[in-house]
Chain A
Amino acid sequence: QITLKESGPTVVKPTQTLTLTCTFSGFSLTTDGEGVGWFRQPPGKALEWLAFVYWDDDKRYSPSLNNRLTITRDTSEKQVVLTMTNVDPVDSATYFCAHRTAGPYYFDYWGPGTLVTASS
């Protein structure tokens, strides 16, 4: 059974760096084609994809946030970490991580999400 869970600060000050951890189980992130993505959703708004890491450590980032994001994986600890620099109040959102399948390329299992508020 695949599960994921996000963790990190609930409040972060503007200009600071936000670090979020996705801890997963039920898969190893070593299967050809699989990966983990990060997403966010401001209150009342749509889902937005942020970053993605493949089983082979290849990485993808949202072009609108590319220079602020870093995604890393630790397969031994079964974690994927997202860092976002220079946080702004508009970054306040619920952040989700999700497993992407190796074949049909969809996000089949999601973590419950973690709410982050950027405020001084």
Chain B
Amino acid sequence: IQLTQSPSSLSASVGDRVTIACRSSQNITHYLNWYQQKPGRAPKALIFGKSNLHSGVPSRFSGSGSGTDFTLAITSLQPEDFATYYCQQSFNTLVYTFGQGTKVEIK
């Protein structure tokens, strides 16, 4: 299963609404997770099962989609949200795959 994220990078301002797409090469139903990674740091879980927030994640983050097309949305972008975001599938647990990442930069 291959995951393709778009865009690979974007520039946005504090307060903007941002969306990141993740497309799967196969139907993965709802087994799609999102992670946030800041430079020099480990990834952090954001969303699991396409739309469930990991503990402690602010409600400005949301996930949607199903099958092969998924979206991560961040409403009212905050300074601490500038990071790289990865999608990851857990439909096929023989091989865990990630998207190539989307870097959210300050405009």
Contact = CB atoms under 8 A, between A and B. Distances in A.
Q: Do A and B come from one complex?
A: yes
Interface in A98-112: 98, 101, 104-112
B99 A105 contact: no
Most buried by B among A47, A52, A110: A47
Interface residues of B, number: 26
Contacts of A96: 42-43
A112 to B, nearest CB: 5
Interface residues of A, number: 22
B98 interface: yes
Interface string B70-100: 0000000000000000101010011111111
Most buried by A among B37, B42, B90, B94: B42
Interface of B: 31, 33, 35, 37, 41-45, 48-49, 52, 54-55, 86, 88, 90, 93-101
4 residue pairs, one from A and one from B, having the closest CB atoms: A106-B48, A105-B90, A110-B42, A49-B96
